[in-house]
Amino acid sequence: MTNIGVVGAGTAGLHLGLLLRQHDIPVTIYTDRTADQVAEGRLPNSVAHHAVTIERERELGVDHWPVEEFGYFCHHHWVGGAELFFRGNFQSPSRAVDYRIYQPTLMGDFEDRGGRIEIRSVEAEDLDALSEKHDALVVASGKKSLGDFFGINEAKTPYAGPQRRLMVGLWHGVAEEDTKSVTLSIAPGHGELLDIPLYSFAGHTHALLFENVIGGDTEVLADARYDDDPEAFRRLVLEKMRQHHPTVAARIDESTFALARPQDLLQGAVRPVLRNDYRVLDNGTVVIAAGDVHSVLDPVIGQGGNSASYSGYTVGQEILEDLGFGADLGRRAAERRRERVEKVSDWTNLMVQVPPAPHMIDLLGAMSQSPTLADEFTQNFNDPIAQWDDVVGSPETAAAAIARTATRDTSEEPAHA
Ligand SMILES: Cc1cc2nc3c(=O)[nH]c(=O)nc-3n(C[C@H](O)[C@H](O)[C@H](O)COP(=O)(O)OP(=O)(O)OC[C@H]3O[C@@H](n4cnc5c(N)ncnc54)[C@H](O)[C@@H]3O)c2cc1C
């Protein structure tokens, strides 16, 4: 009987595994940590899922965090001046739940539905042995040798290294805007601050994700050591926020502003990389990459986890549609997901470009004047293909989007002030 092996119990591996279990296909997930170990670990990221991913969670029966309580409804943008503070609305809410809660919960769901989880670390040299037990392998874990196994798609990987150095922590003492939202605050030349309402072990917190341009004034945040002097660290965060991200700083209550827990902090950097889709082992078993092992995105626009969900789910759909394996499955899965995976990668890479592309500056300026354009840009966090093709992909698409939405703004009531 058909039997699929998956490496990694992240969002890509779990969404794939849960989909296959809905169709009674035996699945074993090999992962290096138990659910308890994931829950007890350091903050791994600060992931927001958009409505398109939440809809997939509903279909999988794992939408445990209703958007009425856990969701947020719009983006606020600040681009360096009072007149450049503006809002973009989602048609349906997004939601951020700590992955140390989210992934262990879904690991439980997967096992409750008959999925097998085997705790072990897998490296590239283990794949031949694993392939003897399964009709196909999906690798949904990108560390070290497994990434090297697939090899980089050089044509779609423009950067030789990380474009931002990151510091993200979960904080108390950050008030909401009038409407619960993510704020994307851009400090030209220094980087971005994403303020994300995120549900964690400490309850409703705010993830403050500083995306620091290398050589910029906020880069020090990626190196400062919280454990050496928590109060000095807190003061440094406040100082950089006041200096570069004033609309977020204005919502801080300094008397209660504090890191939720010492382990709720992450510093690091990611190199955006697109890797090849699949390989076929000597015995004919196909090994398909899904999630970060296939496409690593800088978190600046919060797409990696959403893309991992899409990628894992899409591989699952391809398995279900035609239970034929080998190279053909790899080709079909690659074809099916290529456009979205590549366009979200292109869009993300554009957003971290230094200096910014002139048409992105034009777009942000136009969005501050056009609620229609700001809403379209925001809603397109659910649809990276439309974002690339109709808005950000080139100077021509940007000019067309600005002209198209300006006409609508003058002929319709604005959606919001
Ligand atoms: C600071 C930050 C903020 C982010 N914000 C967002 C956001 O707002 N929205 C968004 O969509 N994305 C965001 N991302 C990206 C997101 O975290 C990743 O894209 C997503 O987690 C990838 O999912 P995955 O399933 O591919 O891999 P992972 O979630 O990394 O899961 C990998 C799995 O493999 C296991 N594993 C690791 N090594 C091995 C091994 N050798 N053998 C077996 N198992 C192994 C791990 O334990 C884990 O279960 C952010 C990332 C960062 C760093």
pLDDT 10s digit of each residue in the chain, 417 long? 679 999 999 999 999 999 999 999 999 999 999 999 999 999 999 999 999 999 999 999 999 999 999 999 999 999 987 678 999 999 999 999 999 999 999 999 999 999 999 999 999 999 999 999 999 999 999 778 999 999 999 999 999 999 999 999 999 999 999 999 999 999 999 999 999 999 999 999 999 999 999 999 999 999 999 999 999 999 999 999 999 999 999 999 999 999 999 999 999 999 999 999 999 999 999 999 999 999 999 999 999 999 999 999 999 999 999 877 778 999 999 999 999 999 999 999 999 999 999 999 999 999 999 999 999 999 999 999 999 999 999 999 999 999 999 876 765 554 443
Rounded CA separation 416/371 (Å): 7
pLDDT of residue 417: 38
C-beta of residue 344 within 8 angstroms of C-beta of residue 309 = no
192: which 2 tokens? 């971005």
User: By alpha-carbon position, which residue is closest to atom 26 of ligand 1?
Assistant: 291
Same domain, yes or no, for 150 and 275? yes
pLDDT of residue 322: 80
In a domain, 49, yes or no: no
User: Domain limits at 373?
Assistant: 358-411
Same domain, yes or no, for 196 and 263? yes
Rounded CA separation 9/172 (Å): 29
In a domain, 121, yes or no: yes
In a domain, 242, yes or no: yes
320: which 2 tokens? 């279900």
215: which 2 tokens? 């050589």
pLDDT of residue 292: 97
In a domain, 417, yes or no: no
Q: Which residues line ligand 1 (CB under 6 A)?
A: 7-13, 30-33, 45-48, 121-122, 140-141, 143, 166, 168, 209, 266, 291-292, 299, 302-306, 308
pLDDT of residue 1: 61
Dist. CA 102 → ligand 1 center (Å): 12
The answer for 174, left when phi > 0, alpha when psi is -120 to 50, beta otherwise, is: beta
C-beta of residue 91 within 8 angstroms of C-beta of residue 112 = no
C-beta of residue 373 within 8 angstroms of C-beta of residue 397 = no
Dist. CA 10 → ligand 1 center (Å): 6
pLDDT of residue 415: 44
C-beta of residue 110 within 8 angstroms of C-beta of residue 21 = yes
The atom number, within ligand 1, closest to the CA of 209 reads 1
In a domain, 87, yes or no: no
pLDDT of residue 326: 77
Dist. CA 99 → ligand 1 center (Å): 9
Same domain, yes or no, for 191 and 210? yes
Dist. CA 78 → ligand 1 center (Å): 28
- For the chain, the straight-line distance linking the first and the last C-alpha, in angstroms and rounded, comes to 58
pLDDT of residue 99: 98
The atom number, within ligand 1, closest to the CA of 168 reads 1
Rounded CA separation 177/213 (Å): 26
- For 162, counting Cβ atoms within 10 Å of its Cβ (0-12 exposed, 13-18 middle, 19+ buried), the class is middle
Q: Which residues pair with 211 in a beta bridge?
A: 166, 192
Q: Which residues pair with 48 in a beta bridge?
A: 96
Same domain, yes or no, for 148 and 36? yes
Residue 60: CB atoms within 10 Å: 22
pLDDT of residue 410: 65
Same domain, yes or no, for 264 and 280? no
Please identify, among 306, 324, 351, the residue that sits at the C-terminal boundary of a domain. 351
C-beta of residue 75 within 8 angstroms of C-beta of residue 416 = no
Residue 365, H or E segment: helix 358-369
Domain count for the chain, please give it. Answer: 3
The atom number, within ligand 1, closest to the CA of 304 reads 19
Rounded CA separation 151/159 (Å): 15
Do the bridges between strand 191-200 and strand 203-213 make them parallel or antiparallel, or are there none, so unpaired?
Answer: antiparallel
In a domain, 388, yes or no: yes
Question: Where do the DSSP E strands lie in 110-219?
Answer: 116-119, 136-139, 164-172, 181-187, 191-200, 203-213
Sign of CA dihedral 135, 140, 143, 148: positive
The atom number, within ligand 1, closest to the CA of 268 reads 53
